[in-house]
Amino acid sequence: MPKISETQLYNMVSRELLHICRDDLKISEECIHICRVESGWSCPGIPDINVCIKGIEFWIECKISNMAGSRNQLKPMQKSWAKHRTLAGGKVFVLRYNSIHDRFTLVNCEVLVTTGSLRNVLEALLFEVSKEEV
pTM of the model: 0.87
Instruction: Find the mean pLDDT for residues 24-34.
Output: 94
Q: Identify the band that residue 3 occupies on the pLDDT scale cut at 50, 70 and 90.
A: confident
pLDDT tens string 67-113: 665 667 888 999 899 989 988 989 999 999 988 888 999 988 667 77
Residue 57: per-residue pLDDT: 95
> Could you give the 3-state DSSP secondary structure of residue 42?
coil
Query: In this structure, how many other beta carbons lie within 10 angstroms of the beta carbon of residue 126?
Result: 20
- The sheet that has 49-53: what strands, in order across it? 32-36, 49-53, 56-65, 92-98, 103-108, 111-116
Class of domain 6-130: alpha beta
pLDDT: which is higher, 115 or 81: 81
Which residues are CB-neighbours of 67 under 8 A, at least 6 positions away? Answer: 100
Domain ranges of the chain: 6-130
- b/e 23-55 (16+ beta carbons within 10 angstroms → b): eeeebeeeebebeebeeeeeeebbbbbbbebee
Instruction: Find the mean pLDDT for residues 125-134.
Output: 73
Residue 125: per-residue pLDDT: 87
